[in-house]
Amino acid sequence: MQKLTNKAILIIGGTSGIGSATAALFAHEGADLTIAARKPWNDELAASIHDSGSRAQFVATDVSNTADIRALFDQHMELHGKIDVLFNNAAYDGPGTPVRETTDEELEKVLGTNIKGVFTSCREAIPYMEDAGQGVIINTTAGSAREGLAWPNLGAYIASKGAIISFTRALAVELSQSNIRVNSLNPGVVDTPLLNGFLDKSDDPQAFRESLNSVQLMGRIGQPDEIARAALFLASESSSFVTGTDLLVDGGLVLG
């Protein structure tokens, strides 16, 4: 039995990595989709969604731009007429420089994508969900934002992801009387274009990748489809008694 039949879902940051894997899985589970990102969906993802029979659209969106977010929700509602699940998955890792070398422009870009975009999209979704009397919000965070774990040269990124954890918890309390569940999904280190872009900024990307494998209890980094299955849990009725949590799916990274 499909877990998301008749659900209208908006995935922001849905054309690569975790977002792409989640979009394909959600479509397979019966959801109708709007997929938003700066970069368009690729032919493989579009074909996978089409083959599932899902009604889906792509909307080019800069999540740091409020006008873009509002236009995105307008287009989502025009096609689907409701929003059952919002998955905020867009992310920007930043320049990969020490804090003292991070420019105002880069700081604003990181915070604009990673926390302002999440805040704004939640703000846009809430009235629709309240009118419907139900809803689910999922915000992607990061293992590096958890206590006891951090890396150098990611100060702005880690700060933004920590803010999402706190914001998610606060929003879960705020919306608890509206039958809207709010959780964050914490994927640890996952083999995605975002990770590869960060590795490429290091002096020895292969050595850095091997070190990331070794610090996790399971001895490897995660795969996007493994995180997508956790997103499915949070989006579906399987997690009907879960709200205000930061769900770690990290292969034991935080304990490593």
Pairing of strands 246-248, 180-186: parallel
Exposure string for 141-180, b = 16+ CB within 10 A, e = fewer: bbbbbbeebeeebbbbbbbbbbbbbebbbebbeebeeeeb
pLDDT in tens, 110-147: 999 999 999 999 999 999 999 999 999 999 999 888 87
Residue 34, Cβ neighbours under 10 Å: how many? Answer: 27
Catalytic site residue from 87, 157, 167, 198: 157
pLDDT in tens, 66-95: 999 999 999 999 999 999 999 999 999 888
Q: Predicted confidence band at 22 (pLDDT cuts at 50, 70, 90)?
A: very high
Exposure string for 226-247, b = 16+ CB within 10 A, e = fewer: bbbebbbbbbbeebeeebbbbb
pLDDT in tens, 154-174: 899 999 999 999 999 999 999
Active site residue 157: yes
pLDDT in tens, 186-197: 998 899 887 777
What 3-state class would DSSP assign to 77? helix
Q: Predicted confidence band at 148 (pLDDT cuts at 50, 70, 90)?
A: low
Structure tokens at 21: 């894997």
The three state secondary structure string of 211-239 is HHHHCCCCCCCECHHHHHHHHHHHHCHHH
pLDDT in tens, 237-251: 999 999 999 999 999
Question: Which residue do the tokens 């008694």 mark?
Answer: 241
Angle, helices 193-200/205-214, rounded to nearest 10 degrees: 120
* Superfamily name with CATH number, domain 8-248: NAD(P)-binding Rossmann-like Domain (3.40.50.720)
pLDDT in tens, 203-245: 787 887 887 788 788 989 899 999 999 999 999 999 999 999 9
Is the pLDDT confidence value at 28 over 90?
A: yes
